[in-house]
Amino acid sequence: MADWGYGLRAKSVVALVIACMVALMPLSLVGWQVVENVRGHFGEAYARNITLLNAQNILAPVSQELALANRLADSVLTTDWLQHEEDAERRTRFFREAERYRADFRDGNYFIASAESRHYYTNDGATAFSEKPRYTLDDESVDDRWFFATMAQEAGFNINVNPDVELGVTRVWINVLVKGPEGERLGLAGTGLDLSRFLEQFLSTSEPGVTPMILDRAGAIQAHPDPEQIAFGSAARSAGFDETLQHRIGGEQGEALGAAMARAETHPGAVELAGVTLDGAERVLALTFVQDLGWHVVSAVDLQTARVVEGPWFRLAVGALVVTLLVLMLAFAYGVDRMVLRPLRQLSTSARAMAAGDYAVSLPPPGRDEVGDLSRAFDSMATQIRSHTEELENKVRQRTRELVAANREMAAAQKQIRDSIDYAGLIQRALLPDNQLRNTLGHDHFVLWHPRDGVGGDFYLFRREGERFLVGVVDCAGHGVPGALMTMLARAAFDDAMNRHGLHSPARLLKHADAVLREMVRQSEMPSSVATNLDAGLVLVEPTARRLRFAGARIGLYWSDGEQVVELPGGRRALCDRRQGEYSDREVMVASGRTYYMVTDGYLDQAGGELGFGFGNARFAELLQDHAAQPMAAQAEAIRAALATYQGDYEQRDDVTVLAFRVE
């Protein structure tokens, strides 16, 4: 063991301790304390000022939009029309007035929703003007819950950030209650601010360490530079909604934030402060309550990042500290080089030779310090490495042979699985009635069938009796091999239904298939967690009578002549669902020039576009109207290409089937 007086460790420690005692330690402690005190003082003032500035930037434009929305809701033309919604003259007068408001709204749009008919009307200048409802609100739809919650609120308005799935837009919605002469609630009117532009105009900041946001009275985030942080639809939900900033922070800090919000509501315009841990960092939250909007404007300031302390004196102090540190580092580096690095470089040369396989190297003469100890350890190590190298190489060769054999077996197993799936796909394809469809309908039909995994849970049916024939599309739960196996059970159930009852009533076939499938599931004692439900749509075509008879379970029948698109929806419950559905036949007279379509939800729910939303029924209907008058082959290519373009880089979610035909 080297003597401590000559050891490198002692020399290095002594040099470092002396340098720190002379300048580094006291300078660092004093400088750190000064900077932290100044940062805390200026940081709180900075947070207050930027919060008040953001509140003023938001209040004026949003208040103007709210005032315009209130005037539209209180207009005599608005209340008069909502009380007589079917009156064409009143409707025309209202929309003429509403178009004037649209020119004044910041984003050039307005909407009105009727409580009686639940029709939703909107015009935004970007689409063709229309006095017809864009869609009808459904009290069982999660997407329409905002309307019914707002109608039930006591407040005369709310500001709600929410995506409109039907319109395909996400906006900051200003919803104002429309009341009749007796105080009855007739509906909602208002406008929407584009969320992206709203965030860019009112919450964008180039200041580092500052995150502006907007909270509602409950504490739910209404606006944030990161849209994923926004609690969409929170302003229209009932009390008890727990996706709030207080809930997200939690603990005593969350309670302190709630108390600060309560104080801010008591003193609108004042700024309250709260220290919290947010996104893993200590932040100062400065918040002020804007009473006219019912919003808390909040600034989360990271004092370690925000530029709250600037000025010539601070730069001078930092420069002096940097110069001092550089001098100490240079002095320490020179001492370490003299005492440590030069001997180690000599040892490093010998070590590199050993790494190259030359174990007969000459090591530096061992001294009385740690470098000498290291030289002696290297000499011992070289001897041991020579004895272990050959043994290690033998083990490596043996393990390599074992890995090669294992990889070969794995590749063979994977090939066998893939070949089995490909073969199953050929079998499933062979069971589809392509030849029967071709022989009966010829060029007046097409089928797009794209399983997600080679085999899948979608299939289609065809059976003919005399002049009439039945076509159907079935979508079983799941995809891949489980979905394909489910199609076998479903095909057997439908074949049994057609053999027993013929083709006269598609609804009766659905009911029979539902009963058969339920019995199969009961006898097999499948666990409740296994999905066995399936969607289906069946159409009986009677060319001589020029008539179609349709029944569906969550699959509808579309038709279009290029001028309009009509959807005949199927039953609301799938076959073999937990609750038994009701299915009925609906007759449609055949008209020349129409094309009829059935589609599974794998097409309609495919994610794509800029926001990753599903393709959707509205976009599908528009696609049919644009191409229904074309030849069937051109329609097939257009429908396939439209989905591929919309899908982009997103993965295929589910099996896709589209069946279309004409009766000429």
Q: Where are the beta strands (DSSP E) in 571-643?
A: 586-589, 595-599, 607-608, 613-614
**107-110 LR contacts (CB < 8 Å, sep 24+):** 107/171, 107/191, 107/192, 107/193, 107/194, 107/197, 109/191, 109/192, 110/69, 110/72, 110/189, 110/190, 110/191
**Between 143 and 499, where is the model more confident?**
499
Query: How far is it, in rounded angstroms, from Cα 275 to Cα 300?
Result: 9
Q: Listing from the earlier edge strand, what are the strands of the sheet with 557-560?
A: 445-450, 656-661, 595-599, 557-560, 565-568
Residue 6 has pLDDT above 60, yes or no: no
pLDDT tens-place string over residues 555-570: 999 999 999 999 999 9
User: Among residues 198, 221, 369, which one has the least CA distance to residue 285?
Assistant: 221
199-301 CATH fold: Beta-Lactamase (3.30.450)
Q: What is the pLDDT of residue 3?
A: 47
Residue 479 has pLDDT above 80, yes or no: no
Q: What is the pLDDT of residue 336?
A: 65
Q: What is the pLDDT of residue 410?
A: 87
pLDDT band of 271, cuts 50, 70, 90: confident
Residue 313 has pLDDT above 50, yes or no: yes
Burial profile 495-508: b = 16 or more Cβ within 10 angstroms, e = fewer? eebbeeeebebbbb
Residue 309's alpha-carbon distances to 219, 312, 591, 648, in angstroms, are 30, 10, 77, 47
Q: What is the pLDDT of residue 14?
A: 64
Name the least confident of 195-199, 337-341, 476-480, 529-533. Answer: 337-341
Longest CA span, the chain: 113
**Could you tell me how many helices (H) and strands (E) the chain has, helices first?**
17, 23
User: Among residues 101, 52, 38, which one has the least CA distance to residue 75?
Assistant: 101
pLDDT tens-place string over residues 131-165: 899 899 998 888 888 888 888 888 888 888 878 77
Q: Which of 49-63, 471-485, 572-586 has the highest mean pLDDT?
A: 572-586
Q: Which of 29-43, 299-313, 349-363, 450-464 has the highest mean pLDDT?
A: 450-464
Mean pLDDT of 600-605: 95
Residue 128 has pLDDT above 50, yes or no: yes
Q: Which of 477-486, 526-535, 603-612 has the highest mean pLDDT?
A: 603-612
3-class secondary-structure state, position 460: strand
User: Among residues 130, 83, 89, which one has the least CA distance to residue 111?
Assistant: 130
Q: At what angle do helices 25-74 and 88-104 cross, to 10 degrees?
A: 150
* Residue whose structure tokens are 């240079």: 330
* Domain coordinates in residue numbering, the chain: 199-301, 432-661
pLDDT tens-place string over residues 636-652: 999 999 999 999 999 99
**Between 409 and 573, where is the model more confident?**
573
**Between 120 and 357, where is the model more confident?**
120
Mean pLDDT of 17-46: 62
Per-residue tokens: 596: 């009829």
User: Among residues 559, 624, 547, 634, which one has the least CA distance to residue 586?
Assistant: 547
Q: Facing residues of 551 across strands? A: 538
Helices (H), 432-479: 434-441
Per-residue tokens: 636: 């097939």
**Between 228 and 624, where is the model more confident?**
624
Residue 195 has pLDDT above 90, yes or no: no
Give 576-595 as a DSSP string.
Answer: T-SS------EEEE--TT-E
Give 435-501 as a DSSP string.
Answer: HHHHHHHTTSEEEEEE-TBSB-SEEEEEEEETTEEEEEEEEESS-HHHHHHHHHHHHHHHHHHHHHH
pTM of this structure: 0.44
Residue 239 has pLDDT above 50, yes or no: no
- Amino acid residing at 365: P
pLDDT tens-place string over residues 45-81: 777 877 787 777 777 788 888 888 899 889 888 898 9
Which DSSP category does 654 fall into?
A: S
Equal fold, 199-301 vs 432-661: no
Q: What is the pLDDT of residue 230?
A: 80
Contact 174, 66 (CB under 8 A): yes
Residue 229 has pLDDT above 70, yes or no: yes
Please tell me the class of the 432-661 domain. alpha beta
Q: Where are the beta strands (DSSP E) in 93-153?
A: 110-114, 119-123, 135-136
